[in-house]
C-alpha cells in the first residue's frame, strides 16, 4: 500500500497501480489542468500545463524534501512517499504563463468556435489564466484546412498538444496526422494525397482539447450549451460502445463515446458516430395500421390491445373491455420473432405476452445483419461485423425460455413446413440502403431481398410487424406497428462480450409512435409507464443467465458471466 501526498492530503493507492500525478490528484479531488496527456495515449509532456511541485517524504523520518523545479504531473509517477503540491504560488504562476503563451497566438474566435462551452482553453483560462491580456493582439479568425471527409482543422486554434497525432499513430494505427514545421510555426497537417480517413477518425475531434479539430457533420449545427447529454449504448454493432447522446428538443445533434474500460475505452467508430441519421429520417413508419378486408385502416393505440388480442387468439373482443387473459380456445399456433435490436426487457415482455396465448409459441431470433468481418485496431478496439446491438441478449433469453435458439433461417423453414396461425415479427433495423460513415454500401444481399419480397411460409399467417422502415414484410403485414429507435427506448443490451449495459431513453419518439417497451407493458396490463428497471429485475430473478443483472447496473455495465460456471 503506497501513500501519496497531494496538497497535504494522504491518498492510498494500490501497489500495482501505476498512476501519474494528474490521476492521483484526481483521486484527491484536485484537478490538475492538462492538455497533452490523455489516459488512452502515450505521454509526451509537451504542453507544460500540468506543472506541479513534487518531492519525496522520507519513509523513516517523515521529512519532506521538495525538488527545486516544477515537473509535469503527467510524467511523474506516483510512488510511496511521493509528494505533489498543486496549489502553490509557483504552480499558479506557471499555469498562468502557459495560458498566456497559448493565447498569444490564439484567434479567440470563441463566438463562432464549435468548442466554446466545452473548450479546455476557455475553462483553464477562466480558472488559471491572467485576468487581462498583456499582449495587444486583436482577435482574428482562424485559418481552416480540410483534413478529410469527416474532420476539418482550424489551424490557428491548435495548442499543439499532439493528442490527435498520437491517436492516429497509437489507436487507429494509420498515422495520417503529423506535425509540420518547427517552433512557433508548428502546425498539424496531413500529407498531400493522404487525407485523414480511418474508421475511427471522429475521435480526434473529441480528443482535441480546443476547437482546432471540427466535426464536419456537427459543425455549426448547435452550440454545445444548448444540448442535453444522455448516457446510452450504441446500436451500431455488437461491440455496444458506451455513448453519450447529445440532443436538444428531441433532435440528436451528435453522439460521443463515453469512457468504458470494459468495452470501448474512450473511442467509438465513425459508423456508429454518424449512424444515427435514420432516427430522424422522414421515411420512418409513424402510424399504426390494420388491414381490414384488404384495406388499411388507421389503428388507435388505445384499441391496440383488443385488435392484437383478436389477431392472436382469433376471437373478437370489444375495444371497451380489456381483452381476457390467457384465452386461446382455438389453440392457434403462434410465433414471435425477437429482433436483435430489441432490448432484453422488451424481448422478455413480448415473449411473455405471446406465451400468454400459446404456451408453446415458437420464439425465434431475428435476422442478424452482417457486414464484412470484424476489424480490430492496434490497441484492441474492435468494430464487429454483426451490425446489431443485442444478439447475445436475445439469444440468452431464448435459450433460457426455450432451451434452444431458433435462427431466422430455421424459423422460415419451419414456417414453410407448417404455417403458423399468427406471427409477430419485430424489426428495428436501420434502413437497408444504409451506408457506413465513409459512404460505402453495407447492405447485404439478404437485406436487399427482404426489402422487396416476402419470405415464403409467412404468406398465410396473420402477420404483426413492428418495424422502423418500410419493407416487403411491413407491406404484407396484417397489423403494422411502428417501432422506436434505440435512442427512444429504455432497456439493456448485451454485447458480444456478454456485458449487459442499461440505458434510458434520450429523446422522445416521433408523434404517433409508441415505444416497444410501453406497448408490451400495456399489453400485459401493467399499471403506469414502462419501467425497464423493474422488468430487468424480473428477468434476473427468473433466469439464471441474467442473475448478475439484479440490482443497480453500473454506468459501465455488468458482465453477465460474472460468478457463473460457463
Residue number, 111 or 439, with CB nearest to other proteins: 111
The whole-angstrom separation of Cα 243 and Cα 287 is 29
Minimum Å distance from CB 139 to ligand SF4?
Answer: 9
Which residues, 6+ apart, have CB-to-CB distance to 420 below 8 Å? Answer: 333, 334, 335, 362, 461
Smallest CA-to-CA distance from 189 within 224, 219, 239, 147 is with 147
| Chosen residue from 11, 47, 347, 532 binding ligand FES by CB under 6 A | 47
111 touches other proteins by CB under 8 A: yes
| Chosen residue from 100, 109, 189, 315 binding other proteins by CB under 8 A | 109
Minimum Å distance from CB 82 to ligand FES?
Answer: 16
The whole-angstrom separation of Cα 483 and Cα 427 is 8
| Chosen residue from 48, 57, 95, 128 binding ligand FES by CB under 6 A | 48
Q: Which residues pair with 338 in a beta bridge?
A: 365
Minimum Å distance from CB 142 to other proteins?
Answer: 8
Residue number, 51 or 479, with CB nearest to ligand FES: 51
For residue 362, which phi and psi values (nearest 5 degrees)? Answer: -80, 125
Q: 441519421: which residue's cell? A: 277
Residue number, 148 or 427, with CB nearest to ligand SF4: 148
HEC assignment per residue over 157-202:
HCCCCCHHHHHHHHCCCCCCEEEECCHHHCEEEECCCCCCCCCCCC
Residue number, 158 or 536, with CB nearest to ligand SF4: 158
Which residues, 6+ apart, have CB-to-CB distance to 344 below 8 Å? Answer: 390, 393, 394, 396, 397, 491, 492, 493, 494, 500, 536, 539, 546, 549
| Chosen residue from 137, 219, 459, 561 binding other proteins by CB under 8 A | 219
**223 binds, options ligand FES, ligand SF4, other proteins, none, Cβ within 5 to 8 A by partner type:** other proteins
37 touches ligand FES by CB under 6 A: yes
**121 binds, options ligand SF4, other proteins, ligand FES, none, Cβ within 5 to 8 A by partner type:** ligand SF4
Q: Dump strand ranges (E) for 391-538.
A: 422-426, 462-467, 479-482, 491-494, 499-503
> In the structure grid, which three cell numbers stand for residue 82, read together?
511521493
Draw the binding track, 55-84, toward ligand FES (x: CB under 6 A; -: no contact): -----------------x-x----------
Residue number, 111 or 192, with CB nearest to other proteins: 111
Which stretches of the chain bind ligand SF4, using CB under 6 A? 106-111, 113, 115-116, 119, 121-122, 157-164, 188, 207-213
Residue 69 burial by CB count (10 A; 0-12/13-18/19+): exposed, middle or buried? exposed
Smallest CA-to-CA distance from 458 within 423, 408, 406, 409 is with 423
**432 binds, options ligand SF4, ligand FES, other proteins, none, Cβ within 5 to 8 A by partner type:** none
The whole-angstrom separation of Cα 51 and Cα 70 is 6
Which range touches ligand FES (CB under 6 A), out of 5-13, 35-43, 301-309, 440-448? 35-43
**48 binds, options other proteins, ligand SF4, ligand FES, none, Cβ within 5 to 8 A by partner type:** ligand FES
| Chosen residue from 4, 30, 50, 560 binding ligand FES by CB under 6 A | 50
The whole-angstrom separation of Cα 341 and Cα 362 is 19
Smallest CA-to-CA distance from 168 within 195, 206, 201, 214 is with 201
Residue number, 227 or 479, with CB nearest to other proteins: 227
Minimum Å distance from CB 181 to ligand SF4?
Answer: 13
317 touches ligand FES by CB under 6 A: no
**226 binds, options ligand SF4, ligand FES, other proteins, none, Cβ within 5 to 8 A by partner type:** other proteins
**141 binds, options ligand FES, other proteins, ligand SF4, none, Cβ within 5 to 8 A by partner type:** other proteins
Minimum Å distance from CB 220 to ligand SF4?
Answer: 12
Minimum Å distance from CB 123 to other proteins?
Answer: 17
Residue number, 36 or 200, with CB nearest to ligand FES: 36
The DSSP annotation for 116-147 comes to TTS-HHHHHHHHHS-SS--S-----PPPEEE-
Contact yes or no for 75/45 (Cβ under 8 A): yes
The C-alpha angle 70, 71, 76, rounded to 5 degrees, equals 150
Residue 115 burial by CB count (10 A; 0-12/13-18/19+): exposed, middle or buried? buried
**213 binds, options ligand FES, other proteins, ligand SF4, none, Cβ within 5 to 8 A by partner type:** ligand SF4
Residues 121-150 that bind other proteins (CB under 8 A): 141-142, 144
Minimum Å distance from CB 188 to ligand SF4?
Answer: 5
**37 binds, options other proteins, ligand FES, ligand SF4, none, Cβ within 5 to 8 A by partner type:** ligand FES
Residue number, 158 or 310, with CB nearest to ligand FES: 158
Residue number, 119 or 299, with CB nearest to ligand SF4: 119
Contact yes or no for 548/562 (Cβ under 8 A): yes
Which residues, 6+ apart, have CB-to-CB distance to 62 below 8 Å? Answer: none
Q: Dump strand ranges (E) for 366-428.
A: 375-376, 382-383, 422-426
Enumerate binding residues for other proteins (CB under 8 A).
109, 111-112, 141-142, 144, 219-220, 223, 225-226
Enumerate binding residues for ligand FES (CB under 6 A).
34-37, 45-50, 72, 74
Amino acid at each position: 500500500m503506497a501513500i501519496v501526498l497531494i496538497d497535504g492530503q494522504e491518498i492510498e493507492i494500490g501497489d500495482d497501480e501505476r498512476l501519474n500525478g494528474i490521476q492521483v490528484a484526481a483521486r484527491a479531488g484536485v484537478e490538475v489542468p492538462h492538455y497533452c496527456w490523455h489516459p488512452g495515449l502515450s505521454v509526451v509532456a509537451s504542453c507544460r500545463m500540468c506543472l506541479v511541485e513534487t518531492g519525496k517524504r522520507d519513509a523513516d523520518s517523515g521529512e519532506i524534501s521538495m525538488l527545486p523545479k516544477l515537473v509535469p504531473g503527467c510524467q511523474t509517477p506516483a510512488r510511496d512517499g511521493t509528494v505533489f503540491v498543486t496549489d502553490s504560488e509557483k504552480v499558479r504562476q506557471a499555469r498562468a504563463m502557459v495560458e498566456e503563451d497559448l493565447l498569444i497566438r490564439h484567434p479567440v474566435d470563441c463566438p463562432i468556435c464549435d468548442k466554446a462551452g466545452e473548450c479546455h482553453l476557455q475553462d483553464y483560462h477562466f480558472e488559471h489564466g491572467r485576468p487581462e491580456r498583456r499582449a495587444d493582439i486583436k482577435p482574428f479568425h482562424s485559418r481552416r484546412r480540410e483534413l478529410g471527409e469527416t474532420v476539418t482543422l482550424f489551424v490557428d486554434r491548435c495548442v499543439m498538444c499532439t493528442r490527435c497525432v498520437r491517436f492516429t499513430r497509437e489507436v487507429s494505427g494509420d498515422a495520417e496526422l503529423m506535425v509540420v514545421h518547427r517552433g512557433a510555426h508548428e502546425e498539424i497537417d496531413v500529407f498531400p494525397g493522404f487525407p485523414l480517413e480511418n474508421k475511427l477518425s471522429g475521435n480526434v475531434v473529441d480528443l482535441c482539447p480546443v476547437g482546432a479539430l471540427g466535426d464536419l457533420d456537427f459543425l455549426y449545427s448547435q452550440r454545445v450549451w444548448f444540448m442535453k447529454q444522455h448516457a446510452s449504448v450504441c446500436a451500431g454493432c455488437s461491440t455496444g460502445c458506451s455513448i453519450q447522446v447529445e440532443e436538444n428538443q428531441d433532435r440528436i445533434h451528435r453522439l460521443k463515446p463515453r469512457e468504458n474500460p470494459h468495452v470501448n475505452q474512450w473511442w467509438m467508430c465513425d459508423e456508429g458516430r454518424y449512424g444515427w441519421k435514420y432516427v430522424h429520417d422522414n421515411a420512418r413508419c409513424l402510424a399504426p395500421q390494420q388491414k381490414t378486408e384488404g384495406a388499411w385502416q388507421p389503428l388507435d393505440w388505445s384499441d391496440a390491445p383488443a385488435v392484437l388480442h383478436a389477431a392472436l387468439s382469433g376471437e373478437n373482443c370489444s375495444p371497451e373491455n380489456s381483452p381476457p387473459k390467457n384465452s386461446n380456445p382455438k389453440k392457434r399456433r403462434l410465433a414471435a420473432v425477437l429482433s436483435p435490436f430489441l432490448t432484453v426487457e422488451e424481448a422478455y415482455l413480448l415473449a411473455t405476452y405471446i406465451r400468454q396465448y400459446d404456451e408453446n409459441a415458437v420464439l425465434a431470433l431475428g435476422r442478424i445483419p452482417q457486414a464484412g468481418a470484424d476489424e480490430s485496431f492496434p490497441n484492441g478496439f474492435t468494430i464487429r461485423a454483426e451490425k446489431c446491438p443485442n444478439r447475445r441478449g436475445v439469444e440468452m433469453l431464448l435459450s433460457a425460455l426455450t432451451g434452444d435458439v431458433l435462427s431466422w433461417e430455421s424459423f422460415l423453414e419451419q414456417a414453410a413446413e407448417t404455417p403458423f396461425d399468427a406471427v409477430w415479427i419485430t424489426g428495428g433495423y436501420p434502413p437497408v440502403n444504409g451506408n457506413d460513415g465513409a459512404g460505402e454500401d453495407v447492405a447485404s444481399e439478404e437485406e436487399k431481398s427482404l426489402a422487396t419480397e416476402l419470405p415464403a411460409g409467412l404468406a398465410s399467417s396473420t402477420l404483426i410487424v413492428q418495424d422502423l422502415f418500410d419493407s416487403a414484410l411491413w407491406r404484407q403485414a396484417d397489423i403494422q406497428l411502428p417501432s422506436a429507435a434505440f435512442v427512444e427506448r429504455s432497456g439493456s443490451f448485451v454485447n458480444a462480450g456478454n456485458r449487459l449495459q442499461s440505458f434510458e431513453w434520450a429523446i422522445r419518439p416521433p408523434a404517433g409512435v409508441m415505444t416497444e417497451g410501453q406497448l408490451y407493458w400495456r399489453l400485459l396490463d401493467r399499471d403506469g409507464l414502462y419501467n425497464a428497471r423493474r422488468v430487468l429485475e424480473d428477468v434476473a430473478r427468473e433466469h439464471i443467465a441474467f442473475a448478475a443483472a439484479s440490482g443497480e447496473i453500473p454506468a459501465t455495465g455488468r458482465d453477465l458471466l460474472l460468478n457463473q460456471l460457463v
